[in-house]
Structure 1
């Protein structure tokens, strides 16, 4: 913590410091969250791309959003991943929807490659 920030908080209790810091930095985290969401919702794997790197990128975006207290949820995460896959994965998507509805994102990653 920088000197100026320490000086501003020297007479505050820990709860008040946390609330003050949230107010100061909330706008920045909202901007980051919006940028990450935009990247996630626009993700699509190129027709000749590899599934592994694409899914790893998406999983990383989910994890970054979760660190910013933006919980996407398992089902919606799966839907976003499946929708990002090219037409060549249509049989995989059908099989997934019929058989693997309860797997986590890393299991999808292992199934795609």
Structure 2
């Protein structure tokens, strides 16, 4: 990240905006690997945290990751929300896999 900033002379604000856009726009393609999607989402979360774009609660990250899943995960998402499951990000990805 630091190399990109130096090479392109891009501000932290612009990089943070691009990472947040990638995070909020991410959508898993139906039939693709949930593990690969989860790893990508966790990577974006770590980059956002490095850029100090941290949300107040980890629940926000969980909500965005759940919203990024295709319709075939609707039952899983409903189960997660109705049973008040509390998982950290890594546990969530493992549960989805």
TM-score range, shorter chain: 0.7 to 0.9
Map of 2:60 onto structure 1: 76
| Per-residue Cα deviation, 1:67-99 (whole angstroms, up to 9, x for no partner) | 111112311111101100000001110111123
Please provide the CA RMSD for this pair: 1.3
TM-score normalised by structure 2 residue count:
0.83
In the alignment of these two chains, the number of paired residues is: 87
Map of 1:50 onto structure 2: 33
Larger Rg: 1
TM-score normalised by structure 1 residue count:
0.72
Which secondary structure state, in structure 1, belongs to the residue aligned with residue 11 of structure 2? helix
Shift of 1:49: 1.1
Map of 1:29 onto structure 2: 12
Deviates more, 1:100-109 or 1:36-45: 100-109
Gaps of 5+ in 1: 1-26
**Structure whose residues are more often helix by fraction:** 1
**Higher RCO (CA < 8 A, seq sep 6+):** 2
Gaps of 5+ in 2: 1-9
Equivalent-residue separation in structure 1 for 2:18 and 2:54 (angstroms): 15
Give structure 1 regions of 4+ aligned residues with deviation exceeding 2 angstroms.
98-101
Map of 2:42 onto structure 1: 59
